Amino acid sequence: MPGRDDRPGRRCLPSRQRPDEGEHVDLHTDPTAHAVRARGLTKVYGTGEAAVRALSDVDVDFAAGAFTAIMGPSGSGKSTLMHLLAGLDSATSGHAYLGGTELTGLDDTALTRLRRDRIGFVFQAFNLLPMFTAAQNITLPLELAGAAPDPAWLDTLVTTLGLAERLTHRPGQLSGGQQQRVAIARALIAKPDVVFADEPTGNLDSRAGAQVLSFLRRSVRELGRTVIMVTHDPSAAAYADRVVLLADGRIAGDISEPTPESVLAGLDALRTLEEPVH
């Protein structure tokens, strides 16, 4: 369990203040800057009677240098929101921003470059190349970009993630937890503005999952990164600084300093709201 006190998490409504569309922010030097923002973000799949509204007019900010979890019932839109914020899918309407860059106006080439240079990804599946060593998997994004790794940063990552003795091992020689730590190092190697993690502990046992979540939290607190994680697990969400709750494609709650108990209470409140009245 994360080291939290016993007080319940504080809840507040998400800010709906509109930003200056022309602003420029440096996420690495301004810790109060918003790493990611959504304004009126809407996603509809299909058309006509078959249309499904996955997100509806979502306004939400994610602070730089913070660890934020996104939670909600199945079908609440949490994965859709992450995909839109990361530029993996396009919105039906509204705007998504990475720092001062609006994603919704970028073409495919620009989005590919942005994801390569400014975003890191950690998925439930480790997605490591089996023929490469751990070190080669970690530095692969830089190789693809034609850039050389920063030796000091690489050393910081492998030391923080406990991988120094595993760099010559291939994925098949690593445990699930070690493979996910390699994936985290790979996500961080290019010093991205934001790391998006989609159910990063879904394929791990409880001990390995706790280690991975601790490393994600350390990457924020000790390495100055920004992490946005989608999870269904209240205990996992409690490692974050903040939990954003979704229901029916809308922001339904916001918990600061979360604990497993406060997250469970928030989810229970959502279920109560969804229950039909007889």
Q: Is the pLDDT at 31 greater than 50, yes or no?
A: no
In the chain the first and final C-alpha atoms are separated, in Å, by 39
Q: What is the pLDDT of residue 272?
A: 74
Listed range (19-28, 39-48, 109-118) with the worst mean pLDDT: 19-28
Q: Is the pLDDT at 23 greater than 60, yes or no?
A: no
**41 and 81 in contact (C-beta within 8 Å)?**
yes
Count of CB atoms within 10 A of residue 102's CB?
14
Q: Is the pLDDT at 101 greater than 70, yes or no?
A: yes
Query: Domain map of the chain by residue range?
Result: 65-79+106-243+250-272
Residue with tokens 């790391």: 195
Residue with tokens 């595993």: 166
What whole-number distance in Å separates Cα of residue 179 and Cα of residue 195?
17
Q: What is the pLDDT of residue 21?
A: 36
Q: What is the pLDDT of residue 276?
A: 53
Q: Is the pLDDT at 17 greater than 50, yes or no?
A: no
What's the whole-number mean pLDDT along residues 110-130? 92
What whole-number distance in Å separates Cα of residue 193 and Cα of residue 36?
9
Mean pLDDT of the chain: 86
What whole-number distance in Å separates Cα of residue 201 and Cα of residue 124?
6
Which amino acid does the sequence have at 248?
D
Q: What is the pLDDT of residue 247?
A: 93
Architecture of domain 65-79+106-243+250-272: 3-Layer(aba) Sandwich (3.40)
What whole-number distance in Å separates Cα of residue 182 and Cα of residue 259?
27
Q: What is the pLDDT of residue 68?
A: 97
- The contacts of residue 98 (CB under 8 Å, 6+ apart) are 35, 36, 85, 87, 114, 118, 119, 193, 194
Element at 52 (helix H, strand E): strand 52-63
> Three-state DSSP class for 251?
strand
Residue 275: band (very low, low, confident or very high) from pLDDT cuts 50, 70, 90: low
DSSP codes joined into one string, 208-250: HHHHHHHHHHHHHHTT---EEEE-S-HHHHTTSSEEEEEETTE
Which amino acid does the sequence have at 65?
G
Residue 96: band (very low, low, confident or very high) from pLDDT cuts 50, 70, 90: very high
pLDDT one-digit tens code per residue, 179-220 = 999 999 999 999 999 999 999 988 888 888 898 899 899 889
Q: What's the DSSP call for residue 140?
A: H
Alpha helices (H) in 27-131, listed in sequence order = 78-85, 108-118
